[in-house]
Amino acid sequence: MHWIRRAWQWLFLVPDKPLSVGGIIAWWELRRIPYNLIVAAVGIPSLLLFYTFILASGTLASGEDAVEPLTLIIAPIIANICYTLGWMVEIPCSFLFRLLIHDRVRVIGPALFALGLVLSLLVVIFPAAFWGIYCLLHLASQ
């Protein structure tokens, strides 16, 4: 478990000094695979729960898909496009903030990464949570 804590700390590590454009991109790209693994580790069970809850709810008509299959292919691509926007936002912000907050500019990348990771996890959890609550309310009303 020690390696998990160290890996988690590394993900949000604040650089020792403000990074160059190349340094910012490298910082983000080194975290792309762990980001995808974390989102997949939460997203796959969430997708299974979503299917379980939507089938249990009885709202899915016979022969109807719970999810458009193309969505399952496109969703990871969109997530990675949004991930790339992280460093694309950090680059101009870091140069602007360097003028305003000087040394604190180093926290922009880790803060944007944390925010993006939390939002990504909320997006993949939302369908399962919605249908889980729907099923609970449906059972409670009977």
Please give the full DSSP string across the chain, using - where no structure is assigned: -HHHHHHHHHHTPPPSS---HHHHHHHHHTTHHHHHHHHHHHHHHHHHHHHHHHHHHT-SPTT--SS-HHHHHHHHHHHHHHHHHHHHHHHHHHHHHHHHHGGGGGGHHHHHHHHHHHHHHHHHHHHHHHHHHHHHHHHHT-
The predicted-structure confidence for 105-131, as pLDDT tens digits, reads as follows: 788 899 999 999 999 999 999 999 999
Looking at residue 118, what is its pLDDT? 95
pLDDT band at 103 (very low <50, low <70, confident <90, very high): low
Q: What's the rounded mean pLDDT across residues 96-106?
A: 73
Separation of alpha carbons 88 and 31, rounded Å? 15
- Return mean pLDDT, the chain: 88
Q: Would you say residue 88 has pLDDT above 90?
A: yes
Cα within 13 Å of Cα(102), Cβ side: 1
Looking at residue 87, what is its pLDDT? 93
The predicted-structure confidence for 1-25, as pLDDT tens digits, reads as follows: 788 889 889 999 888 888 889 999 9
Question: Between helices 21-29 and 69-101, what is the axis angle to 10°?
Answer: 140
The residues near 134 (Cβ < 8 Å, ≥ 6 apart) are 53, 57
Lowest mean pLDDT among 38-42, 45-49, 85-89, 90-94: 90-94
